[in-house]
Amino acid sequence: MTERDEQRSISRVERARVFLEPEREPVRIEIEMLDDERTRAIDLLRERGWAIAEGLHSIFSRGLVALEHGAQSQAHEGMRLIDMKTPEDRERFLLARLNDLESKYAVMKFTAYNALRDNESLKMNVTGLSTEYQALSSTNAYLRGREDELKARIVEVEALVRPVPSDTRSSSRKVWDALREALR
């Protein structure tokens, strides 16, 4: 196991501790489905403004609870506890409500897990950018100091060099000009 794998597994454990379920581990699954089913699911997610991963997880979780508890939740949909006449009806209603809340909790837990994972990624990005900023700042300070040194050196060199008079010509040029004048 590499150091990176250890860090990854540690962070998964830490994220699971947030939900007081350290034995839980996220898994990735792939399923085959018809394209029209996927299209319907994606359309539903877009209607509700959900992210695709979050929405598909919600569909899976709610479908799982619905299959586990069948018609219990549908029988009590739109009703209130006060409308229940017998203790058995109240119990079924409360169980259906609990199942509904359980499926919503599963979705919220998944969303929070993703938020924690994204938060860790952002922390790493911020740390990297902060380090890069510090390195660039020190490089910038060095270059500015070096620029000042070079400007001072240019002034020194310019002071050492005498300005050349504009009418000063080379000796060979003077000879050439004299010969040309004589030949005219």
Q: Domain residue spans in the chain?
A: 1-30, 31-157
Single-letter amino acid code for the residue at 149: E
Q: What is the pLDDT of residue 158?
A: 84
Interior CA angle at 114 toward 108 and 117, to 5°?
140
Nearest Cα residue to 58 out of 132, 124, 121, 108: 108
Q: How many CA within 13 A on the CB side of residue 30?
A: 0
Distance CA 129, CA 141 (A): 18
Decide: 142 and 135 in contact? Cβ < 8 Å: no
pLDDT in tens, 66-100: 666 655 555 556 677 777 788 888 888 888 888 77
Please state the rounded mean pLDDT for residues 101-120.
80
Q: What is the pLDDT of residue 75?
A: 59
Q: What are phi and psi of 27, to 5 degrees?
A: -130, 155
DSSP secondary structure letters along 88-141: HHHHHHHHHHHHHHHHHHHHHHHHHHHHHHHHHHHHHHHHHHHHHHHHHHHHHH
Give the range among 8-12, 29-33, 110-114 with minimum mean pLDDT.
8-12
What's the predicted TM-score (pTM) here?
0.41
Q: Is the pLDDT of residue 127 over 90?
A: yes
DSSP structural state of residue 33: -
